[in-house]
Amino acid sequence: MSPPDRDDGVEQAARRREDSADSRRVAPARSTDERAPTLTADDIRYAYGDEPLFSAASLSVAPGEVLTVVGPSGAGKTTLLGLLGLFRPPDAGTVRWEGRDVWGRSDEERLAIRRRIGTVFQEPALFNESVARNVGYGLRVRSSWRDRLRDAAARAIGRTDPSDRVREALETVGLAEKADRNALSLSGGEAQRVAFARALAVEPDVLLLDEPTSNLDPRNTAVLEAVVAEAREAGLGVVVATHDMHQAERISDRVAVLLDGTVIETGPPEQVFDDPDDPRTRKFVTGELLY
Amino acid sequence: MLLQSAVLPDAGWNYFLSIVAVSLYVSGTAVALSTLASLPVALAVGFGDFPGKRAVAAVINTGMGFPSVVVGLLVLLLVSNQGPLGELGLVFTPKAMILSQFVLATPVITSISLSAVESVGEDVRDAAFALGGTDADVALAVIKEARYGIVTAVLAGFGRAISEVGSILIVGGNIVYSDGTSYTRTLTTAITVEARQGRYEAGLVLGAALLALVLGVNWLGSWVRSRGRGRGSQ
């Protein structure tokens, strides 16, 4: 694929981001207070062996809200997202989905909840197959074994066509024309955009993003921030772990500061960054905090 | 069933083709069964985090060097009339040969598959899980990512099985029917017969056939791997 194609994708996505940013400027930030949170962590504790990581961390994300978790490296942002993504249970405390304890439910119920959560990691972790197959993975594991066998048979004789949702997700990240490329041949930025498309294709209610743009150039970062804004507009709850304060300020409805094994402060970005309640937040934001 | 030694020029093509057929049947079946047994073990050891994991991996790797005659002897004790499986009447049958080749090929396939599975990053497993995969989906995703290594493992297992002579000679008995066609005689055991009787030309012909068979299977494996790599990259 020639560079202009990639640029077209980036330009389209960047335009969507500008439109989305304009709409946010015109309309006052939606009040998320009235909305019941979709995903909540209540006083969760977690330790690696004998070393406690969280003593009592709490946060929640509501539909149509972008919650950014900021904190120094090693604070446990990735682990926190892993607990929210139901990769493992907390040692204590509760993870709730729509108000109900997740780990008190059956495996089937928990799987159903997990399938309403999309996760993007710092590294794209793509499969060694085409871009379209990568994006369609989540849809395939949700289909019956019979459909999956039919899909495998169709693929064996070379008759495969990406589904509408795969195409739509790829268009969202500006990579529709690279659907047939092997995912491992993409650049780092494109690969991360495919990882976003893969998470979006299953139409999740909550999106968990772990340092999603930390390895990307500004153009790809802009594309993915536009995708986050679109997801928010579409009513998804988005949790972003980042140590990029500028990004947190740009994309967040609320910011949670993870320090000393707990969420020390949560609030709108202007409050957290300009007028924080906790003196440790101010020190962390200004870079005075040593850790 | 009659036991009779055979000479390649007398029996001609029937003798030759029956030997090739028995070789392919015994080794192909043994490798297929080994693959079915090896993959779950490779996944369990590769995924698992349990005490003694290194010891288990060491045992599997050690199994790659099992002397085939010792395996043959142990399988013979197992299937002989006085052995625990004696009632099944497996001694001097292709089934006993399959069993001994299964024992020989399984550590090879398991060990190489284990390396292939372990080479798949944890991030890929996490991605499959995060996208809504069940444990079975995650295992399938890992197998798929490790497919080239697994194909290599199967080829190595086939190579070990088809070229093996000691154990199948012991448990199979190197038997041919009265019409000169093979019952438990394979390419390798036939070569030993020809060499012992001084018919070196016949031995060389059978050796060339064995090499051609191994090369053909390896070529098939390479073709599968190249086809897999090419898919989706256009």
Say what percent of chain A tops pLDDT 70. 87
Could you tell me whether strands A92-97 and A39-48 are parallel, antiparallel, or unpaired per DSSP bridges?
antiparallel
Q: Is A70 exposed, middle or buried (0-12, 13-18, 19+ CB in 10 A)?
A: buried
Q: Starting at the earlier edge strand, list the strands of the sheet with A254-259.
A: A117-120, A206-210, A237-242, A66-70, A254-259, A262-267
Using an 8 Å CB-CB cutoff, list residues of chain A that contact chain B.
85, 87, 111, 114-115, 117-119, 121, 123, 125-131, 133, 137-138, 141-142, 180-183, 185, 195, 198-199, 202
pLDDT score at B10: 56
Q: Extract the tokens encoding A291.
A: 């850790």
| Residue for token pair 């020989």 | B104
Q: Are A225 and A216 in contact (CB under 8 A)?
A: no
Residues of chain A contacting residue B129, judged by C-beta atoms under 8 Å apart? 87
Residue A18 has pLDDT above 70, yes or no: no
Say what percent of chain B tops pLDDT 90. 72
Residue B219 has pLDDT above 50, yes or no: yes
Give me chain A's average pLDDT, please: 86
**Three-class DSSP category at A160:** coil
Say what percent of chain B tops pLDDT 70. 92
- Minimum Cα–Cα distance from B123: chain A residue: A125
Q: What are phi and psi of A255, to 5 degrees?
A: -125, 135
Residues of chain B contacting residue A195, judged by C-beta atoms under 8 Å apart? 127
Q: Which helix (H) or strand (E) holds A262?
A: strand A262-267
Is A127 within 8 Å of B127 when comparing Cβ atoms?
yes
pLDDT score at B6: 43
User: pLDDT grade, residue A89 (50/70/90)?
Assistant: very high
Task: For B86-110, write each residue's pLDDT tens digit.
Answer: 999 999 999 999 999 999 999 999 9
DSSP alpha helix (H) spans, A27-121: 77-84, 107-114
- Minimum Cα–Cα distance from A128: chain B residue: B145
Residues of chain B contacting residue A137, judged by C-beta atoms under 8 Å apart? 128, 131, 133, 141
CA distance B188 to B193: 9
CA distance A271 to A178: 42
The number of CA neighbours under 13 Å toward the Cβ of B42 is 32
Apex CA B232: angle with CA B229 and CA B234, to 5°? 100
User: pLDDT grade, residue B231 (50/70/90)?
Assistant: very low
Higher pLDDT, A268 or A24: A268
Is B134 within 8 Å of A141 when comparing Cβ atoms?
yes
Of A119, A128, A130, the CB nearest to B130: A119
Which residues of B, range 141-170, sit inside 8 Å of A by Cβ? 141, 144-145
Q: Are B26 and B97 in contact (CB under 8 A)?
A: yes
What is the least distance, in Å, from the CA of B51 to any CA of chain A?
Answer: 16
CA distance A41 to B91: 64
What's the one-letter identity of residue B186? T
Task: For A7-16, write each residue's pLDDT tens digit.
Answer: 455 555 555 5
Residue B34 has pLDDT above 90, yes or no: yes
Task: For A110-165, write each residue's pLDDT tens digit.
Answer: 999 999 999 999 999 999 999 999 999 999 999 888 888 888 888 777 776 778 89
pLDDT score at A20: 46
What mean pLDDT comes out for the span A61-71? 95
Partnered with residue A182 across adjacent β-strands are A130
Partnered with residue A57 across adjacent β-strands are A44
Is A127 within 8 Å of B145 when comparing Cβ atoms?
yes
B140 in A contact zone (CB under 8 Å): no
B135 in A contact zone (CB under 8 Å): no
B127 in A contact zone (CB under 8 Å): yes
Could you tell me whether strands A206-210 and A237-242 are parallel, antiparallel, or unpaired per DSSP bridges?
parallel
Task: For B158-202, write each residue's pLDDT tens digit.
Answer: 999 999 999 999 999 999 998 888 999 999 999 999 999 998 988
User: pLDDT grade, residue A34 (50/70/90)?
Assistant: low
CA distance A246 to A219: 15
- Minimum Cα–Cα distance from A110: chain B residue: B132
Q: Are A281 and A94 in contact (CB under 8 A)?
A: no
pLDDT score at B88: 94
DSSP alpha helix (H) spans, chain B: 8-47, 53-63, 68-79, 94-119, 122-130, 135-145, 147-162, 166-172, 187-196, 200-230
pLDDT score at A23: 42
Residue A32 has pLDDT above 50, yes or no: no
CA distance B78 to A246: 72
* B-interface mutation test, from A127, A139, A159, A207, most B Cβ less than 10 A away: A127
User: pLDDT grade, residue A290 (50/70/90)?
Assistant: low
What is the least distance, in Å, from the CA of A181 to any CA of chain B?
Answer: 5
Q: Where are the beta strands (DSSP E) in A49-184?
A: 51-61, 66-70, 92-97, 100-101, 117-120
* B-interface mutation test, from A131, A141, A177, most B Cβ less than 10 A away: A141
Residues of chain A contacting residue B145, judged by C-beta atoms under 8 Å apart? 127-128
Q: Extract the tokens encoding A247.
A: 């990004």
Task: For B42-86, write each residue's pLDDT tens digit.
Answer: 999 988 888 888 899 999 999 898 899 999 999 999 999 999 999
| Residue for token pair 């536009």 | A226
Q: What number of other Cβ atoms are within 10 A of residue B113's Cβ?
A: 30
| Residue for token pair 């030694």 | B5
Q: Extract the tokens encoding B215.
A: 């090369």
Q: State the distance between the two ends of chain B, measured CA to CA, in whole angstroms.
A: 57
Q: Which helix (H) or strand (E) holds A284?
A: helix A279-286
Of B129, B131, B134, the CB nearest to A198: B131
Q: Give just the sign of the alpha carbon dihedral A196, A201, A202, A207.
A: positive
Residue A223 has pLDDT above 60, yes or no: yes
pLDDT score at B100: 96
Partnered with residue A68 across adjacent β-strands are A240, A255
pLDDT score at A4: 41
Give me chain B's average pLDDT, please: 89
pLDDT score at A35: 78
What's the one-letter identity of residue B126? D
B28 in A contact zone (CB under 8 Å): no
- Spatial neighbors of A143 by CB under 8 A, at least 6 apart, are A151
pLDDT score at B4: 38
Q: Domains in chain B and their CATH numbers?
A: 14-233 (1.10.3720.10)
